[in-house]
Amino acid sequence: MSFLTPVNAATAYLATNMVAEGRIVLFDPIGTFEGITGAVNLGLFPEDAVIAPNAEVTRETIRAINPEGGASIVVEERVTETTISYEIPVLTPSEQVRSLHNGAPAVALTDPTLTGVSVTPFTPGASILGRMVVIAKRPGADADRLFRVFWHPRAALQSNGLGESQGEQTLLFTASVRAHTYEPGAAFDDVATQITQYGAIFTVPASDLAALLTALDTEAAS
Amino acid sequence: MTDLAAHIRELLTAALPPGTPVLLPEQAESALGGRRPGQAGGISGYLQAHPGGYVQIEAPVPITSTGNQDTYWTAVAALAPTPAVADALAAQVRAALTGTPPADPGWFNTAIPAQTSPLGPDAHLTRATYARTLLLGQVPR
């Protein structure tokens, strides 16, 4: 294989490659949260929404005198700052998603005259720490077609106000990915170095998606 | 673009209840054809024979091209004896073609949502238009 015969020579121009990936966002708050045990599916997004990790990286160049003369050369570009975030507009917020949008974990009231009432502190700028999984599905019937799964052991979900799509209200979230070091479970033991503090991107055959999500269930759970 | 209509037929025959006829554009006449003695004719007769309704794929219409991306719109009609059955069949057609975008997308996008119109007392039609962008006119399978 070379430049003359690339590995994907047969598949590079295939029409099947031109297909949109779907987006399913799952969020599992770490702390206790009234009304939420386990993960929450954030729901459907407007058709034109772009749900993708947006990484802002600040680099600092380190220069040295050019031994051959002339302008100084760049020896390294050191990454000094990384911010990874998702902008998520939710078109179909369920009750759980609406309580996530309140911005902080909810607590149930115990007063018998106030059953069913829960309370969230009003703290602008607060965020909910949790584990986040984004599933990118592709259409088709082939059990071997590949999905992508973005895994973030910690992400902070923040309310970002309200938006609008086709006249319908959307709840806006900003999820900023936080660094978190943890010991990967047995299933990921041999690839532990592939999983960074910010998580990993898995490529998974459609038939194995359920197994991967089950394996991720116990990862960085506390 | 007979291949695109055939592709839609493949998706629909796999997803719809077994025995639901999915007619290609050139088969439109078969539902409207003549009757045997003692039978109701035309579309009413065909729907009497298929109370669960049937699906008619219309000829794909070219809309735009950017040079390598060609967009086609294809109307798919669900016909049934009652509006409720026609709507339910059209909903199954939509799920098979478009999936649940953007969570679990299908191959097609909805270009024009479904419209239900009566063709007669015992024939109702629910028709929606689906868009598909093809690369170099190829229908991927």
Residue B139 at interface with chain A, using a CB cutoff of 8 Å: yes
User: B39 pLDDT exceeds 70?
Assistant: no
Q: Mean pLDDT, chain B, as a whole number?
A: 88
Q: Return the residue in A11, A14, A16 with the most chain B beta carbons within 10 A, the one to mutate for interface testing.
A: A16
What does the alpha-carbon distance between residue B104 and residue A201 come to, in Å, rounded to a whole number? 18
Higher pLDDT, A167 or B2: A167
pLDDT for the residue A209 = 94
List the structure tokens of B61: 């219409």
pLDDT for the residue B40 = 65
Task: Tell me how close the Cα of A136 comes to any Cα of chain B, in angstroms.
Answer: 8
User: Judged by CB atoms within 8 Å, which residues 73-132 of A form the interface with B?
Assistant: none
| Report for B37-46, B85-94, B96-105: range of highest mean pLDDT | B85-94
| Helix and strand counts by DSSP (H, E) for chain B | 4, 8
Q: How big is the CA angle at A92 (ends A91 and A93), to the nearest 5 degrees?
A: 105
pLDDT for the residue A200 = 93
User: B35 pLDDT exceeds 70?
Assistant: no
**Chain A residue whose CA is closest to B134:** A15
**Yes or no, beta carbons of A22 and B99 under 8 Å apart:** yes
pLDDT for the residue B36 = 63
Nearest to A120 by CA among A106, A133, A109: A106
What does the alpha-carbon distance between residue A80 and residue A75 come to, in Å, rounded to a whole number? 15
Residue A24 at interface with chain B, using a CB cutoff of 8 Å: yes
Say yes or no: ipTM exceeds 0.85.
Answer: no
**Chain B residue whose CA is closest to A142:** B141
- Start-to-end CA distance of chain B, whole Å, equals 14
Residues of B in contact with A20 (CB under 8 A): 101-102, 105
**Residue pair B96/A139 in contact by the 8 Å Cβ criterion:** no
The 10s digit of each residue's pLDDT in B81-95 is 999 999 999 999 999
Token pair 């219409």: residue: B61
**Chain B residue whose CA is closest to A16:** B140
Residue A20 at interface with chain B, using a CB cutoff of 8 Å: yes
Arithmetic mean of pLDDT, B31-55: 78
Residue A23 at interface with chain B, using a CB cutoff of 8 Å: yes
**Yes or no, beta carbons of A19 and B140 under 8 Å apart:** yes
Task: Tell me how close the Cα of B69 comes to any Cα of chain A, in angstroms.
Answer: 10
pLDDT for the residue B34 = 60
**Yes or no, beta carbons of A44 and B69 under 8 Å apart:** no
User: B140 pLDDT exceeds 80?
Assistant: no
User: B2 pLDDT exceeds 80?
Assistant: no
Half-sphere exposure of A221 (CA within 13 A, CB side): 10
Print pLDDT tens along chain A (222 aa). 689 999 998 888 888 888 888 999 999 999 888 888 889 999 999 988 888 888 888 999 999 999 988 899 999 999 888 899 999 999 999 999 998 998 888 888 889 999 889 888 888 878 899 999 999 998 888 889 899 999 999 999 999 889 999 899 999 999 999 999 999 988 898 998 899 999 999 999 999 999 999 999 998 887
Q: How many CB atoms lie within 10 A of CB B14?
A: 10
pLDDT for the residue A19 = 84
pLDDT for the residue B74 = 95
| DSSP letter assigned to residue A196 | B
Task: Tell me how close the Cα of B10 comes to any Cα of chain A, in angstroms.
Answer: 11
Whole-number percent of chain B with pLDDT over 90: 61
Residues of A in contact with B136 (CB under 8 A): 13, 15
Residues of B in contact with A94 (CB under 8 A): none
Residue A16 at interface with chain B, using a CB cutoff of 8 Å: yes
Q: How big is the CA angle at B50 (ends B44 and B56), to the nearest 5 degrees?
A: 80
Residue B135 at interface with chain A, using a CB cutoff of 8 Å: yes
